[in-house]
Amino acid sequence: MLGLVEAAEAIARREITAMGLLEASLARLDAVNPTLNVEIWRDAEGARRAAEAADTALANGAALGRLHGVPLAHKDMYYQAGKPATCGSAIRRDFVPDYTATVIERLTEAGAYSFAGLNMAEFAQNPTGHNKAFGDCHNPWNPPYITGGSSSGSGAAVAALVTAGSLGSDTGGSIRLPASACGVTGVKPTQTRVSRYGVMPLSFSADNVGPLARSARDCARLLSVIAGHDSRDPTSAREPVPDYESALNGDLRGQRIGVPTNAFTVGADAPVLAAMEAALQVLEARGAQIIRLKLPLMEAINAYNAVVARVEAATVHAEWMRSQPQSYAQHLSGRIYPGFAIPGPYYVEALAKRGPLLRAFCREVFAKVDILATPTIPTCLPTLAETDIDHGPPGTERRFMAVSVNTRPFNYLGLPASSQPCGFDPNGLPIGLQLVARPFAEARLLQVADAYQRETEWHRARPEV
């Protein structure tokens, strides 16, 4: 199965057809879904009509978009008129929206089309891939292990060659965690970089839309298509959108890579630290300067992030929590209910401090470095059983929440961050390297990720599932 950019270019050169690529994707989904449980729904016939139209347009000499003829499957929380959008929940099992998310429209304008809705954590709220309503998603490298969440189906489907790319969402790490756990590349853009119109909300202040794919270049193309202001989402930024692919020149000379000496590596497992140090050596050989530094304000950032996330999730789910609390998984109820008890002044304070903390963080950190590098997940991956907090023994919740400890701070700060594979743990499961940049510096983030992937083969590894 080709990568996303490879597929689009092969179709444009008429080396393959859109229909042939779609049929290969559907056959692959049939082959792996009994093991991985990545699918919630599919629209094979609608996708075949779109593929046939794409092939006809190419034969007639029509102008081609950057994703012409490429079939994609997305986390099942992107609204598409006339198609299901379960949000991974029992409550929305039968929900069919009558309008389409802006990002889906932009992908369609670029020539892509959807063929399936992918499994996800219930209402995008857990870091592991557990799902009460539709069943747990399984890691393609070792199925008893977690995929990372909440974009669990997206990470697993990209890794298992079901789709060349997928939209996920990231409120506390939900793009970066499955990218890390499944051995693919994922990008959480700057807060407001991508429109959220027509996307299931979770936290008004921390939700992000972004891509998962097999390489930094694939993510760059997807982000170039979906980023930019949207009048239907007044929170979306008006910053110009660069051609992210044009920044991928492989040159890291003069780039300063910062490595935190606090928080992000404290307590990390030895295989994860070893993989990260090896990745830093690759970046240094490419011309980057490695700088060790202590990050400021982390205690305040983590405390305020918890307040914002809990209160806003409680607000989004208040009506359903009152009318049908039994429909929620136990772990999800346990995370939402405390949000109702947090005093209003605490929430307002957490919002008010966000801007000053971001400015202080950028002033103290990005004056010294251009990019931060940390492990995406600081530990070797646990199994689904070890993180099943609805049924597991005491201590399970600690392992469950530890998965996302390194990703959450950058949602509160709104900074762009990515994860790319940098090795494997002793159980044969991927390890991810997280890169973080200043606001709207996605081009630099992708430049570093791409330069790393030019020197390594981790992103080309494929599971045997």
Q: Model confidence over 407-444: pLDDT tens digits?
A: 999 999 999 999 999 999 999 999 999 999 999 999 99
Predicted TM-score of the model (pTM): 0.98
For position 393, what pLDDT does the model report?
84
**CA torsion, ordered 81, 84, 87, 90, to nearest 10 deg:** 140
Report all structural domains of the chain as residue ranges with CATH numbers, in order of start: 4-460 (3.90.1300.10)
pLDDT tens per residue, range 276-286: 999 999 999 99
For position 225, what pLDDT does the model report?
98
State the pairing for strand pair 417-424/256-260: unpaired
For position 395, what pLDDT does the model report?
80
What is the Cα–Cα distance from 307 to 203, expressed in whole angstroms? 11
For position 392, what pLDDT does the model report?
85
What is the Cα–Cα distance from 9 to 161, expressed in whole angstroms? 18
For position 16, what pLDDT does the model report?
98
For position 397, what pLDDT does the model report?
84
Catalytic residues: 75, 150, 174
State the pairing for strand pair 417-424/430-437: antiparallel
For position 321, what pLDDT does the model report?
95
438 — alpha (psi -120 to 50), left (phi > 0) or beta? beta
What is the Cα–Cα distance from 446 to 435, expressed in whole angstroms? 9
- For each successive 10 residues of the chain (465 residues), what is the average pLDDT? 95 98 98 98 98 98 97 98 98 98 98 98 96 97 98 98 98 98 98 98 96 98 98 98 96 97 93 98 98 96 97 97 94 93 98 98 97 98 94 85 96 98 98 98 98 98 96
Are residues 55 and 17 in contact, defined by beta-carbon separation less than 8 angstroms?
yes
Are residues 4 and 164 in contact, defined by beta-carbon separation less than 8 angstroms?
yes
What is the Cα–Cα distance from 14 to 10, expressed in whole angstroms? 6
State the pairing for strand pair 209-213/39-42: unpaired
For position 312, what pLDDT does the model report?
97
Are residues 141 and 181 in contact, defined by beta-carbon separation less than 8 angstroms?
no
